Structure 1
């Protein structure tokens, strides 16, 4: 056994949460190491290169670079230059059989689009969105203080008390309701078209639909689109690469292709066992490899100390992703400058997964790093139920059918799409399990299942002294903003220890 150098903090996983935590700790003068099992940074917001194309592994839309946003503040704190990006005035086009809804970032432009597509209920829908922006701002104000939530210690409770003011108290009515409850207030709960639209946006951002989404969480997610959405040149992996360079320039280490097989504690120090019997020492640990992997990473002795019990964790609902990476001729989308397209089948509103609802992300034609000349890279992704992908005898047939269903849908709206395809690479939950080490292919955190589901969130505390966690399975949840915030919360706690 070869014992390596000792670190103040070791981060397991180089996703956005882990990289943000490491960069924040380096800024505070800590000696840090990040261990990544794959050969790419960014986790589910990373990239891979094939045949001259750069493909984004999962997440594609840039968020948080607006003034005061998560990445705006982080980049300012670290002194980093903001990457080249395209601001999306049209966040996405939402395609339905009888219409295309332009989802505008600007509030007034969006309200005019509401009047166009929902004329009989436009006043009520605009009032509903006024509430979304109001509640979303309250949530932002609270989260910006990086609270430990749900509180696990008396210290956490004590630190939360100063945050309880007139502003935060206004959130109380939204903590015990769902988005559907709020729709009822405005007489919108039976408006099938608007309900279908909202379900599509909530599935994309919160992994659930109006009847199961906590009201405050839905408001926070829906207003995020309108604060600022961006196509980062080079993909979101550009952000991961910048954070990695900052960590290394500050004396930190990034160990690629170094899976951490086991973490144990000996003589007051954490030992991280990696490949070829390499062992690294650290005073503290931040796990960015998801709660799904917790019980496969920690020693039996450490697991006795955590409040996260395996029997409860495996019962919680989570989605997988079916994804298609492809190259396309630039001529196919020549009649639109919109980069993100959502496809929803309102005839089957209950099928917001497995191709019933999916997102297509196009590379910016001006971003030459993403594709060969005359081509663009694209990513198509849909939520999928996990169990079906672990039936080996049906796997290939099912993968081909799912791929064809989504490609045919895009062809319907953009004739010539199929003919313009260059390279087509489908991926399933098994792909995420193998390459991104997502246990059983689970991605996107836990799916909310009711008004009080937020109370079941895991905080950055594991219950083990010196072991913290971050990522999409940790409060405040999925998406690049959520995982980055959890990373910053974990770093704040490590710095305070």
Structure 2
């Protein structure tokens, strides 16, 4: 019997996870990546003697039982990573907070920082951690949401335990409602701190973040946060090698231009005119790419909800890639940190920066005495549509971001060796994110859990993975969606 043939469109972490696992299961797999780098938003690029992490930088899910640890163990992958006790620093004007990996130490630090709300903060985190523990127990079997088939419903139901009944009210609430319950809304700087954690992981703030997703995000760093030498692109490279070991073809520089039906199979054409056929197609591109890469007749067969969302923008990002002479950096410059524009409490439009710097001994990123820094902020793509808007915003955001860094690190200009801006068109050109969209949909009540997009589409054997679908963005989220494609195609489960 001929092996089922599968084409994976997009070599981000989600697509590579699906491809590597399917190849190991005996399927004939071809992975097509449009760019010259693996990893998508967790990729890299080289300029002279410096290597820059293009997007995702903080490693998670590597702890025992974490999604990456389970997938890598399943595939025989070994990773080099350093677990962080101090996950990141958060600087808000004249206040500096530390996110500690240890839960008790973290809560005590928050109580010390906001003594007038000490008891409320303790009660808030107690509920956050209790709820998150129940959700993790439920997610251990990686049930699929939203439920589309009887088998998926059965797997969800068999994952449930009596304790999970208490999670039901949380489906209709936000993190804001949890803060209100614990009388913390007037503790503005604490809310501000939580907003910073959620905007980076959930693409939204406490006001709108779905409560169950939010508590999981606020707890996830305590499960394990890691520095990965070189960067998270190494996850991608390991997954590619695992796929190849099991016979997969993994091809860079192959941009898919059209997917069409050919009888019971699919035809996938790339920009060079090569046509490949397959029994299954897994699309790891953002759903905003579907109108461009699917034949019109095929696209029209998608569900109305999926077509509607494929025409919606998500957040964009403005990123600065900087090489630094470390002699001009303070000794306590953290590996990961968030910086807030000191003149505002808003996290929108460049007021909130996430910084990640290479470790002093990371020779994969920079030569001795130098380091590379990735600085990113959320932007509203609606404000970047015309050329005049784009040119103005690009220059304005570079200045705004650098001025915020200068406020906290006055000698930063002396340290800068090179600086490369990554505006939306860079994200469109290199990792091929349509219009520069990144991060997937904000995890609000209307876009999460049972109201998120499934990896399963209305087209037989046409699947989705990546940050557009459940459970959302980040390397953990996209890996789960890649696993769901594997599980639905093969019926096999990930080892515990």
Q: Please say whether Structure 1 and Structure 2 have the same fold, judged by a TM-score greater than 0.5.
A: yes
Contact 2:53 2:374 in 1 (8 A): yes
Contact 2:466 2:482 in 1 (8 A): yes
Deviation at 1:174, TM superposition (A): 1.1
Q: Which residue of structure 1 lines up, in the alignment, with residue 169 of structure 2?
A: 173
Q: Which residue of 1 aligns with 2:21?
A: 24
Paired residue secondary structure (1:261): strand
Residues 1:436 and 2:431 are matched in the alignment? yes
Taking the aligned partners of 1:237 and 1:216, their CA distance within structure 2 comes to: 29
Deviation at 1:331, TM superposition (A): 2.2
| Residue 308 of structure 2 corresponds to residue 312 of structure 1 | yes
The change in CA–CA distance for 1:337 and 1:86 in structure 2 (over 3 A counts) is: farther
Does the aligned pair in 2 maintain the 1:15–1:288 contact within 8 Å? Answer: yes
Q: Deviations over 1:409-441 (max 9, x none)?
A: 112211210111011001111111111111111
Query: In structure 2, do the counterparts of structure 1 residues 410 and 71 end up closer, same or farther at CA, with 3 Å as the change threshold?
Result: same
Unaligned runs of 5+ in 2: none
Q: Distance in 2 between matches of 1:331 and 1:252?
A: 46
Q: Aligned match of 2:70 in 56, 68, 73? A: 73
Instruction: Find the partner of 1:97 among 89, 93, 100.
Output: 93
1:279 paired with 2:275, answer yes
Q: Which residue of 2 aligns with 1:465?
A: 460
TM superposition score normalised by structure 1: 0.95
Give yes or no for contact 1:332–1:414 (8 Å, CA) kept in 2.
Answer: no
Q: Could you tell me how far apart the structure 1 residues matched to 2:157 and 2:3 are? A: 37
CA drift of 1:337 comes to: 5.5
Tell me the CA shift for residue 314 of structure 1.
5.1
Structure 2 Cα separation of the partners of residues 125 and 362 of structure 1: 31
Q: CA 1:367/1:453 → structure 2, altered by over 3 Å: closer, same or farther?
A: closer
Q: Does residue 336 of structure 1 match 2:332?
A: yes
Aligned to 1:34: 31
Q: Deviations over 1:223-282 (max 9, x none)?
A: 111111111011001111011111111110101100111111212111110122101111
User: After alignment, is 469-478 or 21-30 more displaced?
Assistant: 21-30
User: Over residues 381-436 of structure 1, what are the superposed CA-to-partner deviations in whole Å (9 max), with x where a residue is unaligned?
Assistant: 00001022222024333212211111121122112101110110011111111111
Is residue 197 of structure 1 aligned with residue 220 of structure 2? no
Cα distance, 1:453 vs. partner? Answer: 5.2
User: In the TM superposition, what are the counterparts of 1:405-484 in structure 2 within 5 Å?
Assistant: 405-450=400-445, 454-484=449-479
Is 1:263 aligned to residue 277 of structure 2? no
CA distance in structure 2 between the partners assigned to 1:25 and 1:313 by the alignment: 28
Name the counterpart of 2:56. 59
Within the candidate set 376, 381, 398, 2:376 is matched to: 381
How has the CA–CA distance of structure 1 residues 451 and 255 changed in structure 2, closer, same or farther, with 3 Å as cutoff?
closer
Do the aligned partners of 1:89 and 1:106 also contact (CA within 8 Å) in 2?
Answer: yes
Runs of 4+ in structure 1 off by over 6 angstroms are none
* Residues 14, 311 of structure 1: alpha-carbon distance in 2 compared, 3 angstrom cutoff: closer
Question: Which among 473, 481, 488 is matched to residue 486 of structure 1?
Answer: 481
After alignment, is 253-262 or 119-128 more displaced? 119-128
Is residue 316–residue 446 contact of structure 1 (8 Å, CA) maintained in 2? no
Q: Deviations over 1:423-463 (max 9, x none)?
A: 10011111111111111111100123447754431011011
Pick from 222, 232, 236: which aligns with 1:226?
A: 222
SS at match of 1:243: helix
- SS of the aligned residue for 2:108 comes to helix
Q: 2:133 aligns with which of 131, 137, 141?
A: 137
Partners of 1:388 and 1:475 in 2: how far apart? Answer: 27
Q: Report if the CA contact (8 A) 2:120-2:182 is conserved.
A: yes
Q: Where does residue 107 of structure 1 map in the other structure?
A: 103
- Bigger Cα displacement from structure 2, 445-454 vs 399-408: 445-454
* Cα 1:67/1:6, change in 2 over 3 Å: closer
> 1:287-318: CA deviations, max 9, x gaps?
10021112222223322332154662156451
Say yes or no: does 1:400 pair with 2:392: no
The answer to whether the Cα contact below 8 Å between 1:308 and 1:462 also exists between their aligned partners in 2 is: no
1:454–1:315 distance in 2 versus 1, CA, 3 Å: farther
For residue 385 of structure 2, the aligned residue among 390, 401, 411 is 390
Separation in 2, partners of 1:241, 1:250? 15
Q: Count the aligned residue pairs.
A: 491
How many Å separate the matches in 1 of 2:454 and 2:163?
A: 23
Shift of 1:132: 1.6
Q: How large is the RMSD of aligned CA atoms in angstroms?
A: 1.8
Q: Give the Cα separation in 2 of the matches to 1:163 and 1:317.
A: 34
CA contact (8 A) 1:48 1:55 kept: yes
What is the rounded CA distance, in whole Å, between the counterparts of 1:152 and 1:317 in structure 2?
25
Unmatched 5+ residue regions in structure 1?
A: none
Matched, 1:46 2:10: no
Q: Contact (CA 8 Å) 1:7, 1:281: kept in 2 or not? A: no
Q: Answer whether contact 1:354 1:382 (CA < 8 A) is retained.
A: yes
